[in-house]
Amino acid sequence: MKIGFYNDFRPCVVKSDGVVDVSSAVSGLQGGSPQLLLENIIRNFGFLRPQFQVLEASGQVIPFAEVRLRAPVPRPGKVVCGQGNYMESVKIDPFRPMKTFFKSPDAVIGPGDTVILPAYNPVIFNHEAEIVAVIGREAHNLQQAEALNYVFGYMTGCDVSARAPAEGEAELPGDGLYGKSFDTFLAHRPYITTADEIPDPNDLDVKYWVNGKLRQEYNTSDMEHNLAYMIATISHVMTLKPGDLVMGGTNHGGLGPLQDGDKGDIEIEGLGRQSNYVSDPYKRKWDPDGVRTRAEMQARREAMKALPNPGTWPFTPPTKK
């Protein structure tokens, strides 16, 4: 089953030809916000599922042309992301320690929404196509073998990233991963596919296009630390709760820039395909075929010196004492 929101964040089941409203089935749940409603749907899904199935089979289908799909997880409590979590077709033995970072929940945008590139002037803005696990029940001190039982479902996600500052630009606070948390830098869509429809989340094809040209293409089997291991490990540090997100990281092969006017499309096997757009008020430009590897990103620092600075980045680092 595919669960989502449409128009003014009305809950729905998504079918191949449109959506079916399920508001009548959840009228007794506490709302208050779309995220709180989603969390209550997740918590009560065992009870709600038969009602959703009846509506899915017999309810009125509203064609996609008449609706706007919204972010299926509008404002997650936590977003924990894998950092450098793919082997990229090179056998790594022994595996490196797992690294993760937090991404701002307020970075979320939904299907068809626009990524707005900020005044901060990085080496490059990148797309990172990723699988996203939506937590289904409280998870604490899990073992790897049981971790996927705590997943409600999966969806597609794009971790938009600002890579390091250009010459003369102030560093972001922290260790540089703040460049992944600008508003609009977490595009996920178009719905949550419930876990029962995905037998193995670590055997799915991932593709990402920019303006119709395929950039990223890989399989989640290349993940260094699979989703079960990630979820179990994270649960020994913090309690994961319904509606929290765990993002698996990306294979860096095929990375390229996101810039003004671009249209990005992500598709993950079994999880759907959807688009987002990119707007840059400063109209910065990168060669779409010229930046792919980490080494090339470092070389780009020198090339960026010749580009005009779009404006003063407002963050002023504190004086060290």
Q: Report the mean per-residue pLDDT for the chain.
A: 88
> What residue has token string 């089953």?
1
pLDDT band at 156 (very low <50, low <70, confident <90, very high): very high
DSSP letters, 285-305, are: ---TTT--SHHHHHHHHHHHT
Taking the CA of residue 28 as centre, how many other CA atoms within 13 Å lie in the half-sphere pointing to its CB? 5
Torsion of CA 135, 140, 146, 151, to 10 degrees: 0
Share of the chain above pLDDT 90, in %: 75
pLDDT band at 293 (very low <50, low <70, confident <90, very high): low
| Average pLDDT rounded to a whole number, residues 270-290 | 92
Nearest to 77 by CA among 269, 219, 243: 243
- How far is 264 from 280, CA to CA, in rounded Å? 14
- The CB density around residue 98, as the number of other CB atoms within 10 Å, is 16
195, 151 Cβ separation under 8 angstroms: yes
Q: How far apart are the first and last CA of the chain?
A: 56
pLDDT tens, residue by residue, 56-65:
999 999 999 9
pLDDT at 94: 64
pLDDT at 230: 95
pLDDT at 123: 86
Burial environment of residue 198 by CB neighbours within 10 A (0 to 12, 13 to 18, 19 or more)? buried
pLDDT band at 163 (very low <50, low <70, confident <90, very high): confident
Helix extents (H) in the chain: 34-43, 45-58, 144-147, 227-235, 294-304
pLDDT at residue 313 is higher than 50: no
Mark 57-95 as b/e (b = at least 16 C-beta within 10 Å): eebeebebeebebbbbbbebebbbbbeebbeeeeeeeee
pLDDT band at 317 (very low <50, low <70, confident <90, very high): very low
pLDDT band at 76 (very low <50, low <70, confident <90, very high): very high
pLDDT tens, residue by residue, 102-123:
999 999 999 999 999 999 888 8
pLDDT at residue 238 is higher than 60: yes
pLDDT tens, residue by residue, 169-204:
666 765 557 899 999 999 988 999 999 999 999 999
224, 86 Cβ separation under 8 angstroms: yes
Residue ranges covered by each domain of the chain: 2-70, 79-304
pLDDT tens, residue by residue, 120-141:
888 899 999 999 999 999 999 9
- How far is 143 from 77, CA to CA, in rounded Å? 22
The structure's pTM equals 0.89
pLDDT at 54: 98
pLDDT at 178: 86
- For the record, the structure tokens of 118 come out as 């900020």
- The CB density around residue 319, as the number of other CB atoms within 10 Å, is 5
pLDDT at 136: 98
Burial environment of residue 257 by CB neighbours within 10 A (0 to 12, 13 to 18, 19 or more)? buried
Beta-carbon contacts of 172 under 8 Å, excluding residues fewer than 6 positions away, are: 120, 162, 165, 178, 179, 315
| Average pLDDT rounded to a whole number, residues 144-160 | 97
Q: What is the CATH number of domain 79-304?
A: 3.90.850.10
| Average pLDDT rounded to a whole number, residues 152-179 | 80
Share of the chain above pLDDT 70, in %: 85
Torsion of CA 265, 296, 284, 79, to 10 degrees: 50
